[in-house]
Amino acid sequence: MVRHISAVILSAGFSERMGCFKPLMELGGQRVVERVASLHRSAGVPDIGVVVGHRADEMKAALAGLGVRTIPNSDYEKGMYASVVAGVRRLPARCRAFFIHPVDIPLVRRPTVSALISAFEQHPGKIFYPVFDGRRGHPPLIAADLATDILEFPGTGGLRTLLETHRQLAVDVPVMDEGVLLDLDTPEDRLFLTNRLKTSDIPSPAECRWLTEAICGLPDPVIAHCRAVAAVAKTLGAAVHRAGRDVDVDLVYCAGLVHDAGRGKPSHAAAGACLLETWGFPKAADIVRVHMDIAVDETLPITEAEIVFLADKLVAGDRLVGLSRRFQKKKRLYEKYPQALAAIEHRRGNALRIRTKVERITGCCLREILRDCPWGAAPVPNSADSTRVPFSPGRIRRGDGPPRSPSPGASRRKRG
């Protein structure tokens, strides 16, 4: 349990644009207000207050038994800032910092809340914003020292305007969480968020890109390699899936995008897996953990981890190469180190066994399958071919991946 941190959930408005009352709306089998309250409870926030106004009696009944405080706001018709004031006015006396969380930002992940609290513990007295894709989102974590300023501010321009006057206190915390930007304002938003919840255990391509570029700060060549591996893995996975095997192509693609997230650290596969687990993506973590070395049983169904392993071995830098060429180069580098050579030969054998699986399942040779890769119809080198096929930057773009519906609310942030 985190000591003396509070969460103020703003849930008093009319929900006019939605056409129905958002806090009590079901999203993924759970009421929206329950989802947001449970988020903070799971992150160890000990004090959670929900500001209610419109349909207050229904809200109080819905919140009974959740271990949260209900905070009445008789001025809810005046807008969101009135709810901010009502919530801040009722903060516990010993509160050190508090989240302001609009109820219609319901897909924030628990690791995001934990990351903001951790940042506060290192730098108390500041304002901490979760940042995704270069944009600040919700919920900010605000030092309790600013409570008086919030209560005295007339509200013109909302909370955002007030916090801008304290920009010297702002700390941006990069998070692997596009949910900090996704709001629930319209029926179209609801449909998008419902679909996103179905795959919420898999990072989106945008989350993968933000992890590698902003959180890990990987060099451009490593990022280019990850994108190339992801493209090959997606093509292989799609071919296996079309052949009737139960393979998650989204998972294969996104794991490829982040498979080298731990590059530069000792035991980088384990380091990358640990990072993904920290951000709440255990499936991708399991794949990344074994992308350097994997146990292959030819009698068992093919797995997403095996597909990513093979894709990684087919790509050198950002170029597609044959397995023979890839491993010959490795052998030349380590020819004086018998133990390393044995490990290389072991990995080569695993890659060949996975290739055999793919070809047996699909009824196609690898060359034919990879003609469908995003960079075009270039042939795949066979074991005797020394030609290397570069990936075209004009065809593989940041964020490319399996089709996903665009978010109606992805470009908007709540103001105030």
Residue 333 has a pLDDT of 74
For residues 276-286, give the mean pLDDT.
Answer: 98
Residues 90-123 pLDDT 10s: 999 999 999 999 999 999 999 999 999 999 999 9
Instruction: Write the CA distances from 330 to 248, 309, 337, 341, integer angstroms.
Output: 31, 16, 11, 8
**C-alpha triplet 77, 82, 84: angle, nearest 5°:** 135
Work out the number of other CB atoms within 10 angstroms of the CB of residue 15.
Answer: 20
What sign for the dihedral angle of Cα 34, 40, 46, 48?
negative
Q: Say yes or no to pLDDT of 30 above 60.
A: yes
**DSSP for 364-385?**
S-HHHHGGGSTT-SPPPP-TT-
pLDDT (mean) for 42-70: 95
Cβ neighbours, 10 Å, residue 170:
14
- pLDDT: is 324 or 310 the higher one? 310
- The average pLDDT across 208-219 equals 97
Label residue 404 by pLDDT band (50, 70, 90): very low
- pLDDT value, residue 190: 94
Token pair 């709440």 is found at 280
List, in sequence order, the alpha helices (H) in 108-203: 110-122, 147-152, 158-164, 187-198
pLDDT of residue 226: 97
Q: Is the pLDDT of residue 408 over 60?
A: no
CB–CB of 276/261 below 8 Å? yes
**Residue 165 Cα distances to 77, 142, 248, angstroms:** 26, 13, 47
Show Cβ contacts of residue 8 under 8 Å, excluding neighbours closer than 6 positions: 49, 51, 71, 84, 87, 88, 91, 98, 99, 100, 101
Q: Which string of DSSP letters, residue by residue, matches 319-371?
A: EE--HHHHHHHHHHHTTT-HHHHHHHHHHHHHHHHHHHHHHHHHSS-HHHHGG
Q: What is the pLDDT of residue 152?
A: 96
Cα–Cα distance measured from residue 158 to residue 172, given in angstroms and rounded to the nearest whole number: 20
Strands 47-52 and 69-72, sheet pairing:
parallel
pTM: 0.86
Q: How would residue 150 be classed by pLDDT, with cut points 50, 70 and 90?
A: very high
- Name the one residue in this structure whose structure tokens are 């146990």: 295
What are the beta bridge partners of residue 72? 52
Q: How confident is the model at residue 1 (pLDDT cuts 50, 70, 90)?
A: low
- pLDDT of 396 strictly over 70: no
Q: Which domains are assigned to the chain? A: 5-198 (3.90.550.10), 205-390 (1.10.3210)
Query: Please, which pLDDT band fits residue 392 given cuts at 50, 70 and 90?
Result: very low
pLDDT of residue 410: 42
Which pair of structure tokens corresponds to residue 251? 């998972």
- Residue from 82, 64, 81 nearest 73 by CA: 82
